[in-house]
A and B are shown apart, each in its own frame.
Chain A
Amino acid sequence: MFERISRASISQEKIVLLIAVLLFCVFSVSLKGFVSSGNLLTLLRSVSTLGILGIGMAFLVLGRGIDLAIVAIYSASAGWTLHLANGGVSIWLAMVLGYLLALTAGVLSGVLVAYVEIPALFATLGMAAFVFGFVRYALVPLYVVYMPASGASIAWIGGGFVFGVPVPILFFALIAVLGFLFLRFTKPGRFIYAIGDNFAAARISGAPVRPIIILQYAISATIAYLAGIITATAVSAMDTDVANSSMIYDIILVVVLGGIGLSGGRGGIRNVIVGTLLIGILLNGMTIMDIEYTLQNVIRSLILLIAIVIDSIINPRDEQIAQQGDI
């Protein structure tokens, strides 16, 4: 009984939120200019792409899946869009083609997981390597693709402002609201939770589990493409090699850190936002303090470990409800 109460009252989400608030207070007092509206917007903007990709990943993790191909899809589809536009294809057609590439990759992952029944971990790991390899081999000859002059008409996506607020933040907010509404109020959204909670039960109760899995991957690929276009337009270039960077771990981190269990069925969009904010506050504060590169990595990993340790002390792993295959 006591344990149940403590579980409800001090979840990992709250711990992470608490750490984020604490850091925020410390930085506000100790760092000049940290709380200025300009800096806070910079802070939010710097993590909005990460947050958007985190939401895409959350759609999978909530259903007890994972999408390791999300970064490959993000960089490859946006990179191909720029490459096509460089070759003279109109920017809008290039965007449609780039999106179709992303969607195809997502649906393929979904089919591999849902119908061929390959575990999501392996199917999407393979898909990540395939998408990157195929795009680099057949579609985009160089790693870094630059934005052509014809891209000026979409430059607002990553570089614009609405009433002083950078557009990427608005996209993050929009995706968060849409994601929340979808997961909370639509049938497929509820099915995702059902599948994440107990796949067999969801299936026996008549949930269309296989189409739903494909839908999840299609959604994450769509979100990945949007994030890719935001990055590409923000810095006028796309580096397709981020597919091989540690970015995928950062994304899993904001999802898991915020309190969405990898065993599925628990959490929501709010958790991703909390995880993203903590990372954003940390990065911004360390940049202002001008902390050395290597030390930044140490501090970042330490804070994350502390959050996980506190969680495992307050919410010890329960052998009875732990599921086989938990990561």
Chain B
Amino acid sequence: MKKRIFTALAAALTLSGMVGHAVAAGIDDPRRDDYYKTFTGKTVAFVPVAMGIDLTEGWASVLKQQADALGMKFEVRDPHFSADAGAQVITSLISEKPDVLIVHNPDVNSYAKLLKRAEEAGIHVIQVNMRSNYNSDVYVGADWIAIGEAETQAVVDKCGAGTSGKVAILEGVPTSGSDSGMRKGAEHILNKHPEIKLVSDQGADWDAAKAHTIVSTVIQQNPDLCGVVGFWDVMDLGAAAAIKDSGKQIVLVTSGGGEQMACDNVEKGVFQEEIEYNVMQQGRDLADMVAMVLEDGQPAGKQKVVIYSPQTRLTKDTLHQGACWSAKSLPK
């Protein structure tokens, strides 16, 4: 009997406890209002090298979703491959004073002074994938030197003993921020491997047709060529076509933003390997950094944050569903 009363008491207590708990479950987050207030009405401007490339479309898509969700204004100003037009856009943005300016530099010099002026005017500057000589608040993007190292190492691994050891490097524009970095990375590896012979190092202007011409000439000249280190997957399709025409087994390793085209071609064996910097993840990093500089409240130019994008090796063995993203399926 005593036990029964005790059980009933316990049950009653538990119930009342539960009720009490249910009332207290809706705890307010004191930081939530401030969080949204920070972003409402803010403006984020994006100056890409050009829209219409898988990279820039991918980043812009993620940034636009963030801006829509947080009540910010997201503006894209497309200078369409012209550094002059880009400089004008940035100049006019400095007077329009957006809160955050995201810049994709065409080379290391063109915008350097302007970015400094923008930060002096109180605009947070985030640079993406192609850095300039001026270090602004944030750089988000590939670690080009590491990518150059990874690509060259992958080729060197396949072109060791038992092969000719002859390797070619196919650059886009050697003076660009990405290529000068990858070239440095390639040097690091080549210096460690004196048995590897660099037979050609040419620039193809990011153009697949030019890449085709260069690589076919190099193969004619070195019929025992073992491998090609390509600096951008879109251009390297031309190198791949030249290798296919020659009917030879030549290793081709490339790098790029991991668009579906890359996975398709790794699967088909057109590229033996792609070192991928995932554009969707870079977009997420950009969005996080936009939030960071706005929430942090420090004046522009005080921080020096670098976020290198994780790089993934795409090979036939590592390919999996969802390893790549599709430019076609981006939300409009």
Contacts and interface: CB of A to CB of B under 8 A. Distances in A.
A239 B220 CA distance: 26
Query: Taking chain A's interface residues, is the majority helix, strand, or loop, or is none over half, making it mixed?
Result: helix
A293 B203 contact: yes
Contact of A284 (B54, B217, B234, B327): B217
A42 interface: yes
A159 interface: yes
B124 interface: no
6 contacts: A33-B220, A45-B213, A136-B52, A142-B53, A235-B237, A244-B81
A234 B241 contact: yes
A49 interface: yes
A241 interface: yes
Contacts of A237: 208, 234, 237-238
Contacts of A146: 237, 261
Interface of B: 50, 52-54, 57, 80-81, 171, 173-175, 199-203, 205, 207-209, 211-214, 216-218, 220-221, 234, 237-238, 240-241, 244-245, 261, 327
A63 interface: no
Contacts of A39: 217, 220-221
Contacts, number: 93
Nearest to B211: A235
- Give 7 closest A-B pairs by Cβ, nearest first: A293-B203, A46-B213, A235-B208, A235-B238, A39-B220, A287-B217, A143-B52
Contacts of A234: 209, 212, 238, 241
A3 interface: no
A141 B53 CA distance: 9
Given A234-B212, A235-B211, 18 more contacts: A42-B217, A42-B220, A46-B217, A141-B52, A143-B50, A144-B234, A159-B244, A234-B238, A234-B241, A235-B238, A237-B234, A237-B237, A237-B238, A239-B208, A241-B52, A284-B217, A290-B199, A293-B173
B81 A241 contact: yes
B218 A144 contact: no
A272 B54 CA distance: 37
B324 to A, nearest CB: 13
Nearest to A40: B220
Contacts of A239: 207-208, 234
